[in-house]
Amino acid sequence: MICHTGPTKPALVLLCCVGTWLAICSLSFGAPTATMIKTILELLKLESKELYEDYSKKDADGLPTNESLQLPCFTLGYEASTSISTIQVYLETAKRLSDNRADTTNVTKRLDDIRCSNPPKPSISEPEDFHERKIFTLTVLKRFSDCMAKLEAKDRIC
């Protein structure tokens, strides 16, 4: 009996390895697909609304928002990375000022998933007063929730 080993066996191994490599690299290094962007945006809309509502009910009930504090809202495209980096700084600051009661970790990671580049993060001024810290956190969560509520998905972000 003759075994047929020929070039098909190495070709099959190579095909499997290259296919796996392409699948891994296209997700981690490539731009997110339209389906991924839509899914991430839907999750961001839900999570941002939940963050704001939970914090306003549990920690900032009856407190007003600071009308002078404005967060940039972003539109998907090349210019979004700068706005997303700024929003992330505000969310991280709100998390820290609230002693992690407003856990923005998931939201910040999702924003990383739709950011195309890594621009420098700006510095922002933080309130020192306990009452002002609550108002700052409430305002950041409210502005971000409002931004996400009106954002629409596009086919390309980068």
Name the residue ranges covered by the structural domains of the chain. 32-150
The string of pLDDT tens digits covering residues 6-49 is: 555 554 444 454 444 444 444 445 567 888 988 999 999 999 99
Burial 32-47 (b: 16+ CB within 10 A, else e): beeeebeebbeebbeb
- Chain centroid to CA 84: how far? 8
Model confidence pLDDT, tens digit, residues 40-88: 999 999 999 999 999 999 999 899 999 999 999 987 777 788 999 999 9
* Unique residue bearing structure tokens 């080993």: 5
**Given this model, what pLDDT does residue 52 score?**
97
pLDDT of residue 74: 83
State if pTM tops 0.85.
no
For residues 106 and 84, what is the distance between their CA atoms, to the nearest angstrom? 14
Predicted confidence at residue 25, as pLDDT, reads 42
Q: Give the residue among 47, 62, 83 at the shortest CA–CA distance from 135.
A: 62
